[in-house]
Each structure stands twice: as structure tokens, then as C-alpha cells.
Structure 1
Amino acid sequence: MRSEEFGAFLLRIVTGFIFFAHGWVKWQRGLEAAADSFAAMGLPGWLAYIVTIVELAGGWAMMLGLGTRLMAAAFAVIMVGAIAAVKADAGLLGNGRETGYEFNLALLAMSMYLWLNGSRLWSLDSVVRRPRG
């Protein structure tokens, strides 16, 4: 096993877990509360439903290594949206009232890596796409 493969595996597990955890918090608070939070930030409330489902299902899928590149692309879109629509005004490290976008930027970079490179070590993708013969 090469260290790059193991590094991508760890990145996939951590990224998937973080997104799942964020989706789980939204789910536990209630989707209507999440929609209200999105609306309070100036975003369409219905977007909270999509983001929550992508974070929950996508987080599990990514940890399992199923559709890693697709889920990473979805996570990257969510992070670009979060940075541009919610966090940009606070700056990288925050402004004393709001947290900055440094965490979102790190998740964006992690997602971009997985989108571009994938992670096949111990993944369902490698089982599904295994050559037959």
C-alpha cells in the first residue's frame, strides 16, 4: 500500500464524517429549524433540506467510498456557497462577531482533492468497478 492511497483514505473518512456530523446536527434540530436558519442568513429555506440530505447521505457514502468523487463535488459546491453567501464578509479568521471561513476553506480543499483524485483504498467504489474476469 502506498502512502498516497492511505492518505486519501484518511482524508475520505474524515471529510465524510465531518459532513455527516453537520447534516446530523441539522437533522436533530429539525429540518424546519435548519430552513429557518438558512432563511435568516438570506438563503432560500428549501436549500437547507437539500444540504442536509447531501451532508447525511453523502457523508455516509463518502466514508464507505461509494461515489466518492460525486459526493466530493457536491461537498465542494456546498462549501463554495457557504463561503460566498455566508462567511465571506467575516473574513478568513472572523471579525469578532462571526467565525471566519478558514474551516470551510479547509473542507473545500479536502473535497476538491477527493473530487479530482478519488480514494479507492478500502472503498465500495473499488469493489463495484473491479474488473471482471
Structure 2
Amino acid sequence: MKNNYMYWSPLCLRLIVGFGFMAHGWAKISRGTAGFEKLLIQTGVPMPHLMSIVAPYTELIGGFLILIGLFTRWVSIPLIISMLVAMLTVNIHYGFSSIKTIGLTPAGPLFGPPGYEINLLYIACLLSLMITGAGALSVDLLMVNTKTRVEL
């Protein structure tokens, strides 16, 4: 493997994006998907029961695959779609900023609903991974290197 920064920068993106998607997917699954289904019904997402199951597992499994760098370019597509749907159905109504301080309590700041900033950041990271590939310490790179060695 080349000693080049372009092989290492995707690793940084993969670690945070993969973990982030896994955390969000697991949060929806661990509490039961019924609460998430109610949110989908309120926002008018079609087939809310099916989507309340598909979306969290897409985030959990897709996040894991991004984390380990397996099929990174392909897995990014459903995750981008997930972010676009969340952005256009929920977050778009709250403006751009992901952090809205709406008050201060004795326990600390009080935050309002998040805008679409985080969605765009996830989408940008996934697009970057689609362009650059998974980079260093990824299963994708390991498979390419193994295939190259076998062909030689």
C-alpha cells in the first residue's frame, strides 16, 4: 500500500460516519420501531410500518459496512437516500443549523429541534467515500490487494 495521505483520510470519515449511522440505527431498534413508525406517520412517509423497519436496519448494517470499509461505494447509496428522506421530511422545517439554543435552565442549555446541517454533512462524507473509496485499513482495499496478488 502506498504511504499517501489520500489512503488514510477516508478512514477518518469511515470511522465517524459508520459509528454515527450504527448509533442512530441502534437507537431506533433498541427502543422498538413503533415509536419511529409514529414519527414516520406524522411526517407523511409512505409505508411507515415497512420503513420503520427498513430505515433503522439500513442505518445499523450500512453503518457497520462503512465502518469496516466493505462495499463502501455501494452501501453509501441507501445511506444517502436515508439522509435525504430524513432531511426533506423532518429536518428541513427547522432550518439549517443542527444546534438551536432556545433557552438556559439551571441544568444547562435547552436545545430545539435540529435542522438539516447534519444530514448534509453525512451526505458529503458519503459522497467523498464514494469518490475516494474506503481507503486504508478497509476490507475493500484488502480484497483488491488479495485479488491483485492472486492474478500475479
Q: What TM-score, normalized by structure 2, do the two folds share?
A: 0.79
**Which of 104, 109, 116 matches 2:131?**
116
Question: What one-letter code is carried by the residue in structure 1 that aligns with 2:54?
Answer: I
1:66 aligns with: 70
1:76 aligns with: 80
Question: What one-letter code is carried by the residue in structure 2 that aligns with 1:90?
Answer: Y
The two structures, once aligned, show a CA RMSD in angstroms of 1.7
User: What's the % identity of the aligned pairs?
Assistant: 27
What is the Cα deviation at residue 108 of structure 1?
Answer: 1.1
Bigger proportion of residues as strand:
2
Describe the SS at the equivalent of 1:89: helix
1:98 aligns with: 113
Flag structure 2 segments of 5+ consecutive residues without an equivalent: 103-111
2:90 aligned with 1:86, yes or no?
yes
Larger Rg: 2
Q: What TM-score, normalized by structure 1, do the two folds share?
A: 0.89
Deviating runs (4+, > 6 A) in structure 1? Answer: none
Structure-2 separation of matches of 1:122 and 1:129: 12
Residues matched between the structures, number: 133
* Alpha-carbon contact 2:9-2:135 (below 8 Å) kept: no
What is the Cα deviation at residue 42 of structure 1?
Answer: 1.8
Q: Which is worse superposed, 79-88 or 13-22?
A: 79-88
Question: What one-letter code is carried by the residue in structure 2 that aligns with 1:35?
Answer: E
1:1-133 alignment runs, 5 A limit: 1-44=3-46, 45=48, 46-93=50-97, 97-130=112-145, 131=148, 132=150, 133=152
Question: What one-letter code is carried by the residue in structure 1 that aligns with 2:8?
Answer: F
Flag structure 1 segments of 5+ consecutive residues without an equivalent: none
